[in-house]
Amino acid sequence: MELLKKEVNTMKMDDEMKKINLKIKKVEKKYKKTIQMMNNSYDAVNDVLVDIPYSKEELSLEFDCYVQNVLLKVALSDHELSLNELEMVRKIVIHQPNEILTMLGLEISEKSLQEAENKLNEKLKEIPKFIKIFASADLKMNQLRRHPKNYSKKIFNSLLSLITSMMQADGIIYTTEVLKSHVVLEPIVSFYEEEGLC
The CA-atom distances, in angstroms, between 161 and each of 6, 10, 34, 99, 109 are 37, 32, 10, 24, 28
> Taking the model in full, what pTM does it have?
0.81
* pLDDT tens for the 198 residues of the chain, in order: 544 444 445 555 567 677 777 777 888 888 888 888 888 888 888 887 767 788 888 988 999 999 999 888 888 877 788 777 888 888 888 887 888 888 887 778 888 889 999 999 999 999 999 999 888 888 888 877 766 678 888 888 888 888 887 776 655 555 555 555 567 888 888 888 888 876
- Measure the CA angle with vertex 153, ends 148 and 158; round to 5°: 135
Instruction: Report how far residue 27's alpha carbon sits from residue 166's, in angstroms, rounded to the nearest whole number.
Output: 8
pLDDT at 11: 54
Question: Which residues lie closer than 8 Å to 35 by C-beta, 6 or more apart?
Answer: 60, 63, 64, 94
pLDDT at 6: 45
In the chain, where the domains are located: 26-195
